[in-house]
Amino acid sequence: MRILYPFILSLLLFISSCSRPRELTFMVGGSPNELLYWEKVIGEFHEKTGINVKLIRQPTDTDQRRQGIVIALRSKSRDPDVFLMDVVWVGAIASSGWLEPLDSYIERDNLDLNKFFSRVVDEVDRYRGNVMALPVYVDGGLLYYRKDLLAKYGYTAPPETWEELLQMAKKVQARERRKNKNFWGFVWQGAMYEGLICTFLEFSSSFGGGITIDSTGRIVVNIPQNVEALKFMQDLIHGYKISPPNTYTELKEEEVRLIFDQGNALFERNWPYAWGLHEKNPELKDKVGITKLPHRKGKRSASTLGGWHIGISRFSDVKNEAWEFVKFVTSYEKQRDFALNLGWNPGRVDVYADTVIEKTAPHLVLLKDVFENAVARPSLPYYSGVSQILQKHLNSALSLSETPQEALEKAQNDIDEFIKKYED
Ligand code: GLC
């Protein structure tokens, strides 16, 4: 009998594991309406497949989301099985060996990768030739503006250059302030977090600079065009005073979106998700326009490539179920639902030709080229370290603790040092 005990025990464990309802854990963050939407999606997935999905909620801030996922993966935890990753950390997570390559699943189910933005799949989702993730949505920075207010002050079109934006914002802010002292010309993300890198990349690229990697592999941030762009960002707050003083202490995506939603701003820099929310706001209905971000006269508009990708943990014990979920979320139907309900830009190109999208979300079709030409942040295994250094110095310039020149010189030195240490 004694010999039989271990056998019976394993049998019982086996039976109980077989009868356990299959459950997936899915880690995702976002704004409150996005999290609510995910609940609906997992309900539909359950109905279709019988697979339960447990949502592990995360905040909106990408840096905090990264931390949550990295902590779980570093400890080889089985949860989460599947998660969304910011475009900017897919490379690092893949190079740590924490992602399940998707090629065999893609092949088995004949998933056509050509349906997705191929530049995005090639540059972001592939690691050493293998597909490690798929794009759920692509993001790009956009300019939102109040059509009604521009018309009220005699402007027939939104600004194309930063000089025009400045002129319009100064005039409209001064006049609107007479009845609304909380009114601002232009709101954008300047707090110390990843979003500041995105706005800086847009300002600097549209001034003719950017964050580049030279032929020796060095990340270059300290160039005159970038100094000029950072000075402009600083001036928006402290010189022209068309952006609020809490830009550098508090303003992230949702804070910026709320200022605009409350009718307290003429221009807003944000991602496409804000469109759906502004449209749902009865106070703003039909008053909001969306266009490319401005550029310095003689230069070109730039939008940072953002977006979120779905991948499966290598430590998951329900990889097949996780793959079913990946397929569901990246399917034509779901991508169309995301676009229509959340304003997200599909990671699939085929959805842009959908007649329903053309009718109800024309801005997505109109701005497709913005996403195809968006500027990417450097894709490096140690990107988050570089980002933190840059965030710190950019934010110091915005708070006037460093001059733009000093900020970029220090950032350059610290980045060089950091990379040297990383490579040693
Ligand atoms: C958005 C973008 C993401 C970016 C983040 C910065 O979520 O999709 O790529 O890193 O904003 O706040």
Render pLDDT for 35-47 as a digit per residue (tens, 0 to 9).
999 999 999 999 9
pLDDT tens sequence across 133-166: 999 999 999 999 999 999 999 999 999 999 999 9
Average pLDDT over residues 229-248: 98
pLDDT above 60: residue 109? yes
pLDDT band for 6, please (50, 70, 90 cuts).
low
Residue from 34, 66, 139 to probe ligand 1 pocket by mutation (most atoms less than 8 Å from CB): 139
Q: Is 139 in the pocket of ligand 1 (CB under 6 A)?
A: yes
pLDDT above 60: residue 26? yes
pLDDT of residue 19: 47
pLDDT tens sequence across 315-342: 999 999 999 999 999 999 999 999 999 9
User: Apex CA 339: angle with CA 337 and CA 345, to 5°?
Assistant: 140
Average pLDDT over residues 218-232: 97
Residue from 138, 197, 271 to probe ligand 1 pocket by mutation (most atoms less than 8 Å from CB): 271
Centroid of ligand 1 to alpha carbon of 284 (angstroms): 24
Which residues touch 286 (CB under 8 Å, ≥6 apart)?
147
Q: Is 86 in the pocket of ligand 1 (CB under 6 A)?
A: yes
Centroid of ligand 1 to alpha carbon of 388 (angstroms): 15
Q: Is 347 in the pocket of ligand 1 (CB under 6 A)?
A: no
User: What residue type is 401 in one-letter code?
Assistant: S
pLDDT band for 368, please (50, 70, 90 cuts).
confident
Average pLDDT over residues 13-39: 79
Q: Is 306 in the pocket of ligand 1 (CB under 6 A)?
A: yes
pLDDT of residue 217: 85
Cα separation, 131 vs 109, whole angstroms: 14
Mean pLDDT of the chain: 93
Residue 42 has φ and ψ, to the nearest 5°, of: -70, -30
Task: Give the other-Cβ count within 10 Å of 142's Cβ.
Answer: 24
Helix (H, G, I), strand (E, B) or coil at 99: strand
Residue 305 has φ and ψ, to the nearest 5°, of: -75, 115
pLDDT of residue 381: 85
Q: Is 197 in the pocket of ligand 1 (CB under 6 A)?
A: no
pLDDT above 60: residue 13? no
Atom 6 of ligand 1 has which residue's CA nearest to it?
195
pLDDT of residue 209: 98
Q: What pairs with residue 269 in β-bridges?
A: 143
Atom of ligand 1 nearest to the CA of 61: 12
Q: Which residue has better confidence, 14 or 140?
A: 140
Q: Is 244 in the pocket of ligand 1 (CB under 6 A)?
A: no
Could you tell me the strand order of the sheet in which 265-270 lies? 184-187, 265-270, 142-146, 288-291
Q: Is 142 in the pocket of ligand 1 (CB under 6 A)?
A: no
Atom of ligand 1 nearest to the CA of 307: 8
pLDDT tens sequence across 251-286: 999 999 999 999 999 999 999 999 989 989 999 989
pLDDT of residue 17: 46
pLDDT above 90: residue 361? no
Q: Which residue has the tokens 């940072």?
A: 304
The tokens of 17 are what?
Answer: 């594991």
pLDDT over 70 percentage in the chain: 94
Centroid of ligand 1 to alpha carbon of 9 (angstroms): 49
Helix (H, G, I), strand (E, B) or coil at 284: coil
Q: Is 194 in the pocket of ligand 1 (CB under 6 A)?
A: yes
pLDDT above 80: residue 80? yes
Cα separation, 407 vs 19, whole angstroms: 59
Cα separation, 391 vs 198, whole angstroms: 10
Helix (H, G, I), strand (E, B) or coil at 309: strand
pLDDT above 60: residue 3? no
pLDDT band for 14, please (50, 70, 90 cuts).
very low
pLDDT of residue 424: 77
pLDDT of residue 336: 95
pLDDT band for 29, please (50, 70, 90 cuts).
very high
Centroid of ligand 1 to alpha carbon of 86 (angstroms): 7
Cα separation, 260 vs 266, whole angstroms: 7
pLDDT of residue 119: 87
pLDDT of residue 353: 87
Residue from 194, 342, 345 to probe ligand 1 pocket by mutation (most atoms less than 8 Å from CB): 194
Atom of ligand 1 nearest to the CA of 305: 9
pLDDT tens sequence across 171-200: 999 999 999 999 999 999 999 999 999 999
pLDDT of residue 135: 97
Average pLDDT over residues 291-319: 96
Longest dimension (CA), the chain: 93
pLDDT of residue 4: 53
Atom 12 of ligand 1 has which residue's CA nearest to it?
195
In sign, the C-alpha dihedral spanning 252, 89, 312, 332 is positive
Written as one string, the DSSP assignment of 370-388 is HHHTPBPPP--TTHHHHHH
SS3 letters across 241-274: CCCCHHHCCCCCHHHHHHHHHCCCEEEEEECCHH
pLDDT above 90: residue 88? yes
pLDDT above 50: residue 202? yes
Q: Is 198 in the pocket of ligand 1 (CB under 6 A)?
A: yes
Written as one string, the DSSP assignment of 103-135 is HHHHHHTT--GGGB-HHHIIIIIEETTEE--EE
Atom 5 of ligand 1 has which residue's CA nearest to it?
195
pLDDT of residue 21: 54
Centroid of ligand 1 to alpha carbon of 137 (angstroms): 11
